[in-house]
Amino acid sequence: MEPIQKTEYRAPALEKGLEILELLACQADPLTKKQIATQLNRSINEIFRMLSVLVEKQYIEFDPETASYALTLKMFALSNQSPPIALLLKKAVPLMEKLSYSVNQSCHISRYSNGKLIVIAGQESPYKMGFSLRIGAELDIGASGSGLVLLSFSDEVKRAEILDKLDGLAPEHLEKLSAIAKKGYYIGESPQISGVTNISVPILGVWGEVMAVMTIPYMTLNSKTVNHDIADIEKTCEELIKVAEKLQQK
């Protein structure tokens, strides 16, 4: 029997649109029309109409002052409308607000998707000073508390898939994974910000999979000069675990 021949269907316009979205998603700064065309190895005429459509549909935005294009949060918003994630976010918002006020620290939730760990929800500290991450920020999986918790609580297949997309993971971090999974949480100094200690816990799904990771970037404050109670790291970790357990999909 001859093998079935697969017909390859092409959609050139769609391909151009996806190429533009994928390119802008990887950029730290907006790109001009010429820069987009050059990086995609296409002519400006080829992408002109697609850029206009993407702007009209609000997937990208155009800055007339710099004549450049950047990705909007529409794709991010659409990805979070799937029932489990939408339910998680709806339930998380009031709990995160209550948690932040009880420990006087900010907190955020991140989710792994398409090779990236992205902040999908956040609550700022009620105190006048604090450290928080913007929604949509991409976290370093190999060097963040959120990333280490993601790896620690993922099964072997998922962990291998995540690691395969990383440039590499330091041996000392690999050695921590089993201990983190055993404890149920991670506490460690932030490699980027002095005076901040990351406290991260997993939010598990129905089958025990990691749906998301919740983190408090604990900012050390001087209790002698602050006029209100500040929860210590251990107490803050306990409160964070309680919230994560309430958010688990049972």
Query: CATH for 82-247?
Result: 3.30.450.40
- pLDDT(4) > 70: no
Name the one residue in this structure whose structure tokens are 């598990």. 204
If you count DSSP H runs as helices and E runs as strands, how many of each does the chain have, helices first?
9, 9
How far apart are the C-alpha atoms of 55 and 24, rounded to whole Å? 13
How far apart are the C-alpha atoms of 217 and 91, rounded to whole Å? 21
Which fold, 12-78?
A: Arc Repressor Mutant, subunit A (1.10.10)
**pLDDT value for 241:** 96
- pLDDT(2) > 50: no
pLDDT in tens, 22-66: 999 888 789 999 999 999 999 999 999 999 999 999 999 999 999
Please say whether the dihedral angle defined by the alpha carbons of residues 126, 128, 132 and 134, taken in this order, is positive or negative. positive
Q: Are 173 and 142 in contact (CB under 8 A)?
A: yes
The domain locations on the chain are 12-78, 82-247
Tell me what the mean pLDDT of segment 189-204 comes to: 89
Q: In what order do the strands lie in the sheet with 196-204?
A: 138-139, 116-123, 107-113, 210-219, 196-204, 186-189
Q: Global pTM? A: 0.69
Please say whether the dihedral angle defined by the alpha carbons of residues 176, 135, 191 and 141, taken in this order, is positive or negative. positive
